[in-house]
Amino acid sequence: MKVDCIFCKIVAGELPSQQFYQDELVTAFQDISAQAPVHVLIVPNQHFNDLGEMGDAQAEILGRIVQVAGQIAAREGIASEGWRLVTNIGKNGGQEVFHTHFHLLGGRPLGPLLSR
């Protein structure tokens, strides 16, 4: 756990969140500034600054994140209409919180991936 990391604190239950899922590898919780009817953040319980710090040794964690995203999408009723799973890395990626997280977005047409 990184002491000054808000997502580490959410994973540990030291900061409140609306939790969707937690197991020994990953935690999923509501994004505080939701941009779609469904906007869930899925994070590794272990601290990594971003996806670029994760590799083969984290294959199980990354697989679990993708698996959990699909399960939450189904549970939230957005699986058939479609959804998006994205992660931002660094300055150009627009990353604001430096603990790897994937945004699960859906519940409305999400438009193009990038603004034109």
Give the residues lining the site for ligand DGP (CB under 6 A): 6, 17, 29-33, 41, 88, 94-97
Residue 22 forms beta bridges with which residues?
27
**Active-site residue, from 39, 47, 99, 101:** 101
Q: Report which residue type is found at 55.
A: G
Question: Encoding tokens for residue 64?
Answer: 């679990």
- Report angle CA 103, 48, 78 to the nearest 5 degrees: 15
Closer residue to ligand DGP in complex, CB, 56/93 = 93
Closer residue to ligand DGP in complex, CB, 80/83 = 83
- Tell the smallest beta-carbon distance from residue 24 to ligand DGP (Å): 21
Question: Encoding tokens for residue 45?
Answer: 């319980």
Is 39 annotated as catalytic? no
Active site residues: 101
